[in-house]
């Protein structure tokens, strides 16, 4: 057999070829034979029903199951209540981990046997312990006062997660943003000043409930039940205002950054004191990458409008390195690391997608591993124009989720990334409107672009649609769970995984099950 060399893309990761709409020639007669384009072979959508019987034990470990079932007037089942958010995959492609943000947990998925094997309740961070201080007030004359509070706990509630392997163990790095449910039919949030505090646990309640102390802080009234508590001996606030590292095999907490994100952003003049009553800097997303011999973590801080960079090389001595930011960037959502080997500049790059400002900002590492700004591009569409990005190393392109509020239809913008220092307007856009209501995430591997698309109504089933990453031609699509929030590939590019959030509608009358979908390609 012979190959049309114009159609051959070789992946150094798996030393195999992906042929999309190309011709194979027979050595004997040189007659072209059409290769079937890449397509979807199967999809398996997994829900959490098998864990319903374990709800009590999981709640004891710190998992939250607390939403209502409007049809019965009671509590939702565990399977109905869980909301998968982000996915990360092991280096060998055999396992995945999924963040369950509102539920304060992480699920482990066996991709080979297509089963959810474990749910890890993440427990609570003690803000009464030195090192876990926080500023709880936005009404303290713009002062940033970090202090401890007895009987105040933080729910980790990770949004973005990433992973790395060391000594045969996969570790999960979580950005502990936090999130509360606020719907017409159900609302869990309250401010401390509006609660009745237990006199034994909080003998100084009158002082603590002052707006300059804990009074303004948002906490949950529904830790593990749809029925709100009326008297509080402990307070649970949203997010841990940190990033954490978890053992992927056991769910054990290995490291937490404590109050350091607040300390570092305050030192740089970037701490958002107006958000002290909510979730502080709001660690939104995380990426992991090797720069030389160093393993670095990049933590996107949604409200500080910055990315914090930490050195994880020595797990016993994790070190803050720097903050990167641009004064015009607002709301970093997508955090993308590009290794030096894959970079057009031959140096590691960090690509930040800023949702509110609709901008893409690129930072480049120097020889010592320090990052500085290389370029910036504002996309058309207004707020929501730059959410999640994916890099196509074969064609040196950047794919950007664009749900800009000024656009008529959702799309994926395609940016020429062959010269990252001089970004220009997108060379093309892929219209997503024919496939659903909005595009939530993109990923690319071996010449295939995968998109996670929600239904016309967010409670409807979603879609994964795949495209040729070079020609942007539609290849195939498949139905997945409701509200696919994140999509990723296994390292070999043969499997796509989505975290299907299953978020309820506004009055909570419809609450689809959260799920994980595993899509196998031909």
pLDDT for the residue numbered 141: 87
- Return the closest-CA partner of residue 412 out of 370, 459, 453: 453
> Digits of tens for pLDDT over the chain (522 positions)?
343 433 433 333 333 334 444 433 344 444 333 345 799 999 999 999 999 999 999 999 999 999 999 999 999 999 999 999 999 999 999 999 999 999 999 999 999 999 999 999 999 999 999 999 999 999 998 899 999 999 999 999 999 999 999 999 999 999 999 999 999 999 999 999 999 999 999 999 999 999 999 999 999 999 999 999 999 999 999 999 999 999 999 999 999 999 999 999 999 999 999 999 999 999 999 999 999 999 999 999 999 999 999 999 999 999 999 999 999 999 999 999 999 999 999 999 999 999 999 999 999 999 999 999 999 999 999 999 999 999 999 999 999 999 999 999 999 999 999 999 999 999 999 999 999 999 999 999 999 999 999 999 999 999 999 999 999 999 999 999 999 999 999 999 999 999 999 999 999 999 999 999 999 999
pLDDT for the residue numbered 3: 38
CA-CA-CA-CA torsion sign (331, 498, 53, 458): positive
Q: Tell me the C-alpha to C-alpha distance, in Å, between residue 21 and each of 4, 376, 430, 464, 500.
A: 11, 35, 19, 20, 30
pLDDT in tens, 154-200: 999 999 999 999 999 999 999 999 999 999 999 999 999 999 999 99
Cα separation, 444 vs 430, in Å, equals 14
pTM for this prediction = 0.93
Cα separation, 332 vs 355, in Å, equals 6
pLDDT for the residue numbered 30: 43
pLDDT in tens, 64-95: 999 999 999 999 999 999 999 999 999 999 99
């Amino acid at each position: 057999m012979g190959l049309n060399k114009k159609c051959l893309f070789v992946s150094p990761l798996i030393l195999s070829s992906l042929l999309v709409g190309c011709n194979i020639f027979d050595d004997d007669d040189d007659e072209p034979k059409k290769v079937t384009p890449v397509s979807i072979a199967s999809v398996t959508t997994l829900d959490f029903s098998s864990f319903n019987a374990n709800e009590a034990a999981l709640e004891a470990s710190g998992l939250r199951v607390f939403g209502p079932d409007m049809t019965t007037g009671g509590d939702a089942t565990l399977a109905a209540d869980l909301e998968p958010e982000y996915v990360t995959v092991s280096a060998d492609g055999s396992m995945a981990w999924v963040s369950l943000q509102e539920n304060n947990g992480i699920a482990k998925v066996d991709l080979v046997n297509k089963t959810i094997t474990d749910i890890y309740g993440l427990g609570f961070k003690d803000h009464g312990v030195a090192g876990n201080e926080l500023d709880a007030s936005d009404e303290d004359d713009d002062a940033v006062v970090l202090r401890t509070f007895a009987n105040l706990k933080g729910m980790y509630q990770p949004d973005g997660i990433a992973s790395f392997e060391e000594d045969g163990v996969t570790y999960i790095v979580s950005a502990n943003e936090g999130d509360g449910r606020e719907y017409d039919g159900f609302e869990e949030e309250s401010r401390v000043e509006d609660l009745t505090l237990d006199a034994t646990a909080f003998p100084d309640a009158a002082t603590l409930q002052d707006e300059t102390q804990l009074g303004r802080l948002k906490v949950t009234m529904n830790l593990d039940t749809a029925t709100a508590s009326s008297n509080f001996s402990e307070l649970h606030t949203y997010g841990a205002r940190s990033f954490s590292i978890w053992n992927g095999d056991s769910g054990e907490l290995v490291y937490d950054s404590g109050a350091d994100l607040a300390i570092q952003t305050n030192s740089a003049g970037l701490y958002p004191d107006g958000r002290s009553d909510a979730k502080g800097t709001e660690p939104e997303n995380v990426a992991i990458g090797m720069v030389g011999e160093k393993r670095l973590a990049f933590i996107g801080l949604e409200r500080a409008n910055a990315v914090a960079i930490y050195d994880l090389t020595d797990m016993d001595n994790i070190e803050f390195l720097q903050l990167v930011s641009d004064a015009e960037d607002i709301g970093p959502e997508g955090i993308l690391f590009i290794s030096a080997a894959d970079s057009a500049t031959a140096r590691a790059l960090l690509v930040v997608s800023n949702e509110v400002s609709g901008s893409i900002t690129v930072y480049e590492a120097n020889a010592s591993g320090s990052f500085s700004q290389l370029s910036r591009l504002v996309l058309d569409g207004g707020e929501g124009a730059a959410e999640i990005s994916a890099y196509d190393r074969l064609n040196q392109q950047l794919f950007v989720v664009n749900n800009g509020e000024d656009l008529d239809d959702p799309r994926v913008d395609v940016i020429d990334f062959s010269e990252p220092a001089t970004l220009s307007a997108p060379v093309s856009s892929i219209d997503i409107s024919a496939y659903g209501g909005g595009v939530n995430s993109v990923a690319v591997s071996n010449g295939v672009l995968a998109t996670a698309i929600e239904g016309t109504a967010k409670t409807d089933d979603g879609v994964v649609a795949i495209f040729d990453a070079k020609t942007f031609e539609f290849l195939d699509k498949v139905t997945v769970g409701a509200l696919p929030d994140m999509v990723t590939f296994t390292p070999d590019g043969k499997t796509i995984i989505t975290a299907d959030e299953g978020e309820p509608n506004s009055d909570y009358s419809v609450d689809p099950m959260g799920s994980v979908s595993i899509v196998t390609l031909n």
